[in-house]
Structures are given as structure tokens and as C-alpha cells.
Amino acid sequence: MSKSDIFANLGSIKDKDLSVERISVGKVISYADGIVFTDELQDVQAGELVTFDSGVFGLALNLEKNRVGIIVLSGLAKIKTGDFVYRTGKILSINVSDEIVGRVIDPLGQAEDGKSAIAVGKEMFLEKIAPGVIDREGVNQPLQTGVKAVDALIPIGRGQRELIIGDRNTGKSSIALASILNQKGQDVICIYVAIGQKKSTLAQFIQTLEDKGAMSYTTVVSASASEPASLQFLAPYSGQAVAEYFLEQGKDVLIVFDDLSKHAQAYREISLLLKRPSGREAYPGDVFYLHSRLLERACKLNKENGGGSITALPIIETQANDVSAYIPTNVISITDGQIYLETDLFNSGMRPAINIGLSVSRVGSAAQLKAMKQVSGSLKLDLAQFRELAAFAQFSSDLDSATKKLLERGKRVSEILKQPWDLQMSVADQVLMIFAAVNGYLDEVEVTDLADWEIDYLNFAKSSNPKLVAYLLTGAKIEGTQEEALEKLIKDFKKAHPRFYKKEV
Amino acid sequence: MLQINIASSIPLSDSQKKKLEGSLQKKYQKEELQFNYQIKEELIAGLSLSVGGKLYDASLRARLSQLASKI
Ligand SMILES: Nc1ncnc2c1ncn2[C@@H]1O[C@H](COP(=O)(O)OP(=O)(O)OP(=O)(O)O)[C@@H](O)[C@H]1O
Ligand SMILES: [Mg+2]
């Protein structure tokens, strides 16, 4: 506001605007563990922001006949019994501006990275009704994660909600991180919401984002394990508010919630302290709504509404692969598919440890790039056959040559799905590799040599046929000419690199 | 007994208290009143009075925040 506006406004303020008003207040009765109970605070609404005498903010969550339960959001130490609690008539919002990209903020929108405060932009509500059906359109654009196994077999589209689920230490965060790193130069804003994590883990995560140049399009919302449950509870909604700021500009956004198991636990803690009745696994009755209202806000908007999208990758940690526990089943039913990670696979060296059989993407295939779709069709078939045969082959020693051949193919096909977490593969790289594997060009290479083969072959392709690589990068359909070029490329490579082909088959 | 909480930025003198209590007693004629005094520097100046769940805030702080919200 300009100075002259302020003076114009001052002139229009009447005496009665400044008279003593009768306002509703509550008084703090008890305060413990970040939860305040006050005597009745008339007309307060559920989810309303309230303030205390000391300027501390709280959120009214429980409205009962004679008392109100409030979670305190900041300055926990300053509250005393007998303090007044005031209504603000507002619901919780955070300040978001373009400048928030590249920053680390807490769930209340305050800078956490020791740099200056976020420039004033727009107030974005933490709770918002998700866009309706009329404003949306089907998922129709891919979101490349750069992870072969995901892009080929569990493709994700912009606006989709794909769950990453698995036990501790199975590479869940790594898949999300890889997806963020792969958005470099893709005009996608990324938001990483860390809930209940160790500060040291998060610091390392942010360091990686910085080292790989990903902070220039990423915002981190952090509510680490040492923060009160109230902030951990709010963190995903804050992240979503930031996402919606960019959605309104018609941008594509990728948001990661790492993880919603800890989020549910924070909410359970709050609910128990507020003395709400608890149900299964001591979670409150509305824990489904906690996540459904959050994930419903992921969307792909139609042209009339700007055409932006929010793709959500929620993460859930399971105990002993139990996907039928309460929170996992809830979130599975809310999302459009899941990437299922397993400890056994991880330990056997199959990394990323994705169980292909149990992972699905229900909407992403509509958006998958043509070339990827072409090569991944036979990939799925090869893998399914391999899984079936591998189980069967354990029992019989002498297999006919056709079966042996299928087994050998299967071994190689699943081998090439291995990928270091920090290696982003372009569409062209992925198509080159999968094409070679499913068309049997790897059958004569030792399985143990495949990782080296991949590196050399991809470099060879870039230097000897850059035109083909450029074409593949677009993801366009592979026609006869490209197919011939691909075959020639592999034959030339074989001649140039005989060390991979010692053995005659 | 009706509790009346009176907060002021500086201590009130006895005569000020008497005046205040007299006028409040007039307003709540039939009830027995108990007055609780409290110093709250954050009010800057003036005083605030709360009865039941209602607050009558005649402090400078309240004025300023009203002014701020009108601009
Ligand atoms: N594809 C991969 N190749 C090699 N190592 C990997 C791969 N993916 C993950 N890792 C390693 O496995 C470890 C665990 O990964 P990550 O932290 O992503 O798992 P997580 O499931 O998120 O674990 P947590 O339960 O602690 O959150 C890390 O040290 C990571 O570097
Ligand atoms: Mg993790």
C-alpha cells in the first residue's frame, strides 16, 4: 500500500470504529504438551486461528460445550493459565510468493534456512476444498521420474497421486528424491515436505538437492522429529498451500510427503491429548479424512482453469511389509496406484527394490510417452514370464532350451531395471536400454557385465548417432527407420566393444 | 459471585479503583461482585475488563490494533 493510500484511509476512519467493543474471550484453564484447554470461547469455529495474550497463535480443533481444545503453534513456553484467548475470525494461511522457490520453510511459512523472510505475496489457506470434477481433466502428460523401472512399468502422469510404500530403509525417499532431481529443466516446481524426520537426515537431503542444482526449483517444508506434533500435523497442508500458489499460475507442481505414516502418528498424538475417542490402532475416527482431503487436492486442471497440475507422491512406511494395516490401506485406497518396495529385494541387490508384480499405476499409462509404451509392453510380458518360470525352475534341474532361454532373458531384463538412486536416466537412455533387453540383444552378454555394458552403450549411442538419440528424447513413436537405426547401433557397438562378447551362445 | 477481572498497564490508585467498583456495582446491582486486579504492561495504556466470557478492552493496544485493521 502506498503512503497516500494510508492517509486516505486514515481520514475515513470514524470514531465509532475505535470504540470499546464487547468481544468473546476464553481463558486458559490448562496447558500441557502443546494443547491448551480454555473455558468457552463463544462463536469460535472449528479450525479457526486464535491468539493468546502473549501473541502466540493457536488453532481451535475441539469445540465442546464448556471448553475449547486448542493446539498451540508457536512460542509454547509463553502461555500461562488465566491468559486470554481471542478469536481472529480467520483460518490458517501462510504467505507464499515466487521467492519461496529454493527456500526451506517451517509449516507456518517462516524461513528455516537462516536467510531473509519470504517476501510478501499471497495468503494461501492451509485447508482448501479440492477443485471439483468440472475444473479437472484426465491425466495426459507424463511426469518422468528418471527411474527406468517406474517410467517403464509404473508410469506417473502429471496430476496423479502415486503412493511410495515399503518398510524402513527400502529406498522410498530415494525414489522421491530421484524424481525431484529429474525435474531439472522440465519447468516443474517441486515441493518436499519432511514430516517427523531427523534433522540430520533432512540436512543431508537438502545438501543433495543443492549439490545437484535442484534447489533452484524446489521448496522444502520441514517439520522435523523435534518439532511439536501440531507443526508436523500442519506440514503437508502447508506444502499443499505452496503447491496451489503455483497451480494458480498454471504451473506443474510435484509434491512429496515424506512420510504420511509419521503424519498420522502426529495427528494421533494430538487427538489423544485432546481426549478424542480413539479407534483402530488408537487412531481417531477421522484419520481417513486427514489424508483424503489432503490428497484430493492433487489435480490436473483443464485449460479454462489454467491447465496446471499437482502431482503428489505420498510415502508410507510399513511394518514387516504389512500393507493391510490401518494407515497403509487408507492411503492405498485414496491414491491412484502404488510403488511397492521390499526389504528382501533391497537386500538381494535389486535396487530400486520395486516389487513389479504388486506395484501399479492406475492412470499414468494414459500419459506414458509413445516410445516408452512400445518397449515396455514386451518388458512387462518378459518379467511376468520370468517370475513364473523362476519359481517353477527351482524344482527342476533339467529344463528344455526354450525355458532356459526365457530364464536367461528374464534375468537380463530384470538386471537392467537396477539403477543407482542418483542416476537420472533420460527417455532416450531408458528406451535404448529396454529396447536392447527385450529384443534379445543382451542375451549374449554376461549378467554381471550389464551395468558396464549400459554405461558404454549409452555413451556410444550419443556419440555415434546423436540424431537418433535426439529423436528418442522426444518420446515419439519408434517407426521402422528408428528400429533399423537401433539395430545397427547395437551391431556397431558389438564390433567396437568385443570384450562384452567373449562367450559364444 | 461474579468475577470481574480488571487489567491495567500501570497500578490503579485506590480512588480510581473505588470509582470503577462503584460504577460496576451499579451496573450489576443484584449480584455480588469480586474484583481481581492485574497489571499487564502490554496494554500500553488504559485498561481492560472481563466478565464471564466477554472482554471490554479499552486499552491503547486494542485501539492501535483496531486502527491497524482499518487501514
Ligand atoms: N537404487 C539404489 N541403489 C543403491 N542404493 C540405494 C538405492 N536406493 C536407495 N539406496 C540407499 O538405501 C538407503 C536407504 O534409502 P532411503 O533413505 O531412500 O530409504 P527409506 O525407505 O526412505 O528409508 P527410511 O525408512 O529411513 O525413510 C540409502 O542409503 C540409499 O542411498
Ligand atoms: Mg525415507
* Grid coordinates given for A79: 502461555
Instruction: List the Cα angle A219/A224/A230 in 5-degree steps.
Output: 100
In this prediction, residue A401 carries a pLDDT of 85
| CB of A172 shorter than 6 A to ligand 1 | yes
Residue B12 belongs to what domain range?
A: 2-70
Each domain of chain A, given as residue ranges in start order, spans 25-91, 95-368, 374-500
Q: What is the distance in angstroms between the Cα of B58 and the nearest Cα belonging to chain A?
A: 6
CATH number of A25-91: 2.40.30.20
| B residues 11-70 lying closer than 8 A (beta carbon) to A | 40, 42, 50, 53-58, 62-63, 66-67, 70
Which CATH class for the A374-500 domain? mainly alpha
Contact A143, A220 (CB under 8 A): no
- CA A251 to chain centroid: 16
Interface check A40 vs B, CB under 8 A? yes
Closest of A279, A16, A494 to residue B63, by C-alpha: A16
Closest of B47, B51, B46 to residue B35, by C-alpha: B51
d(CA A60, CA A68): 7
Q: What is the pLDDT of residues A248-273, one digit of tens each?
A: 999 999 999 999 999 999 999 999 99
In this prediction, residue A154 carries a pLDDT of 96
For A53, half-sphere exposure in the C-beta direction (CA atoms, 13 angstrom radius) is 22
Asked whether the bond before A259 is cis by omega within 30 degrees of 0, the reply is yes
Residues of chain A with pLDDT under 70: 1-2, 396, 503-505
Q: What is the pLDDT of residues A393-433, one digit of tens each?
A: 777 677 788 888 888 999 999 999 999 999 999 999 999 99
d(CA B68, CA B54): 22
In this prediction, residue A395 carries a pLDDT of 72
Instruction: Tell me how many domains chain B contains.
Output: 1
Indicate yes or no: CB of B55 within 8 angstroms of CB of A9: no
Which amino acid would we find at residue A266? A
Indicate yes or no: CB of A25 within 8 angstroms of CB of B53: yes
**DSSP code per residue over A126-178:** SS-PPP-GGGB----SB---S-HHHHHHS--BTT-B-EEEESTTSSHHHHHHH
SS (H, E, C) A79-94: CCCCCEEEEEEEECEE
Would the CATH topology of A25-91 be identical to that of A374-500? no
Distance between the two ends of chain B, CA-based, in angstroms? Answer: 41
Indicate yes or no: CB of A84 within 8 angstroms of CB of B70: no
Which helix or strand (DSSP H or E) is residue B46 part of?
strand B46-51
> Please, which residues have CB less than 5 A from ligand 2, an ion?
A 173
In this prediction, residue A503 carries a pLDDT of 61
Pairing, β A309-317 against β A299-300: antiparallel
In this prediction, residue A504 carries a pLDDT of 55
| CB of A197 shorter than 6 A to ligand 1 | no
In this prediction, residue A442 carries a pLDDT of 94
- CA A372 to chain centroid: 22
| CB of A352 shorter than 6 A to ligand 1 | yes
> CATH for A95-368, among 3.30.10.20, 3.40.50.300, 3.40.50.720, 3.40.710.10?
3.40.50.300
In this prediction, residue B66 carries a pLDDT of 82
In this prediction, residue A54 carries a pLDDT of 82
Contact A129, A292 (CB under 8 A): no
d(CA A404, CA A398): 9
Q: Specify the residue for cell string 509392453.
A: A377
Indicate yes or no: CB of A25 within 8 angstroms of CB of B55: yes
Q: What is the pLDDT of residues A200-245, one digit of tens each?
A: 999 999 999 999 999 999 999 999 999 999 999 999 999 999 999 9
Sign (positive or negative) of CA dihedral A149, A152, A157, A161? negative
d(CA A129, CA A151): 31
pLDDT in tens for each of the 71 residues of chain B? 888 989 999 999 999 999 999 998 888 887 888 999 989 888 899 998 988 888 888 889 888 888 887 77
Interface check A84 vs B, CB under 8 A? yes
Task: Report, as residue numbers or ranges, the catalytic residues of A.
Answer: 362
Sign (positive or negative) of CA dihedral A227, A233, A234, A239? positive
**DSSP code per residue over A254-293:** EEEEETHHHHHHHHHHHHHHTT--B-GGG-BTTHHHHHHH
In this prediction, residue A435 carries a pLDDT of 95
Pocket test for ligand 1, best of A163, A173, A355 (most atoms within 8 A of CB): A173
Kindly give the number of the ligand 1 atom that is closest to the alpha carbon of A197: 27
Pocket test for ligand 1, best of A150, A169, A259, A424 (most atoms within 8 A of CB): A169
For residue A429, the tally of other CB atoms under 10 A from its CB is 21
Torsion angles phi and psi, residue A427, rounded to 5: -55, -45
Indicate yes or no: CB of A23 within 8 angstroms of CB of B57: yes
